[in-house]
């Protein structure tokens, strides 16, 4: 079975802190994604990556950056966390027919 | 850039009943996928139907796709309390960034024992 592991299930940070969310997949997938999920807004794509060192902006990239130094790892970075970035963050990797395999999510609270 | 819209937003049924959820979308698609999310967890892929398919089955799940109406439905037969979750449709377009999945806002299903 494909496994997508997100480093932290729950985080509490203060405004202005730098936040790293890490995601690792074990199926050698090329495509990886970061979404955020908020009540009433559904899933929104932040960034995605089709290859190592490659990144593309999604629908809501402002305030975020990403890093993909190795194929299995895709990191989401909040350079200076703000309260409106309190959310559930979901990482996914993509299989051959286009289906996504998600991690368990990281619930971030910014105080 | 929301594509899929699920209907209803919430659905409450008794165990043993069937649950039907609908999804409408706006533009041409390569495939349409359904996902399930238990509260506070990640999404789990359920089933994928390609644009040239009309119906697909997987266990107690039945998915239909009508490309002329740009709509899909997910039927869960003989529902169980463990089916309580949110269900999302996601559409995939053709090529490049259009190949990224776009998710609807989901239907929250509650199955009462």
User: Tens of pLDDT along A38-57?
Assistant: 988 889 999 999 999 999 99
Average pLDDT over residues A68-87: 97
User: Which residues lie below 8 Å from residue B39, measured CB to CB, with a gap of 6+?
Assistant: B85, B86
CATH code for the domain in which residue A73 is found: 2.60.40.10
| Chain-chain contact of A42 with B42 (C-beta, under 8 angstroms) | no
B27: domain range?
5-112
A30: domain range?
4-110
Residue A22: is its pLDDT beyond 70? yes
| Chain-chain contact of A99 with B33 (C-beta, under 8 angstroms) | yes
Chain A residues in contact with chain B using a Cβ-Cβ cutoff of 8 Å: 4, 33, 35, 40-43, 45, 48, 56, 58-59, 90, 92, 97-105, 107
Q: Which pLDDT value is given to residue B1?
A: 46
CA distance A29 to A51: 9
User: Which residues lie below 8 Å from residue B43, measured CB to CB, with a gap of 6+?
Assistant: A43, A90, A92, A100, A102, B35, B36, B37, B88
Residue A88: is its pLDDT beyond 80? yes
Q: Which pLDDT value is given to residue B6?
A: 85
| Chain-chain contact of A101 with B35 (C-beta, under 8 angstroms) | no
- Is residue A92 within 8 Å of residue A101, measured between CB atoms? yes
**Rounded to 5 degrees, what angle do the CA atoms A91, A94, A100 make?**
65
CATH code for the domain in which residue B103 is found: 2.60.40.10
> How many domains are there within chain B?
1
Summarised one tens digit per residue, pLDDT across range B17-51 is 999 999 999 988 999 999 999 999 999 999 999 99
Of the candidates B31, B42, B97, the beta carbon closest to that of A56 is on B97
CA distance A108 to A41: 17
Cβ–Cβ pairs < 8 A, chains A and B: 52
| Chain-chain contact of B1 with A56 (C-beta, under 8 angstroms) | no
| Percentage of residues in chain A having pLDDT higher than 90 | 87
């Amino acid at each position: 079975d494909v496994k997508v592991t997100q480093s932290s299930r729950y985080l509490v940070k203060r405004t202005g802190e730098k936040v790293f969310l890490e995601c690792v997949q074990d199926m050698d997938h090329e495509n990886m994604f970061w979404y955020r999920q908020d009540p009433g807004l559904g899933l929104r794509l932040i960034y995605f990556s089709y290859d190592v060192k490659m990144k593309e902006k999604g629908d809501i990239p402002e305030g975020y950056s990403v890093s993909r130094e190795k194929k299995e790892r895709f990191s989401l970075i909040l350079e200076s966390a703000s309260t409106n970035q309190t959310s559930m963050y979901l990482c996914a990797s993509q299989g051959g027919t286009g289906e996504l395999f998600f991690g368990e999510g990281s619930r971030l609270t910014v105080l | 850039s929301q594509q899929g819209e699920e209907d209803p937003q919430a659905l409450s049924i008794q165990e043993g009943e069937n649950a039907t959820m609908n999804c409408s979308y706006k533009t041409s698609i390569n495939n349409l996928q359904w996902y399930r999310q238990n509260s506070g967890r990640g999404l789990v892929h359920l089933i994928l139907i390609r644009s040239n398919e009309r119906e697909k089955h997987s266990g107690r799940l039945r998915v239909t796709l009508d490309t002329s109406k740009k709509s899909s439905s997910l039927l869960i037969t003989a529902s169980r309390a463990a089916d309580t979750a949110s269900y999302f449709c996601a559409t995939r377009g053709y090529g490049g960034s259009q190949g990224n999945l776009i998710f609807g806002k989901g239907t929250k299903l509650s199955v009462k024992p």
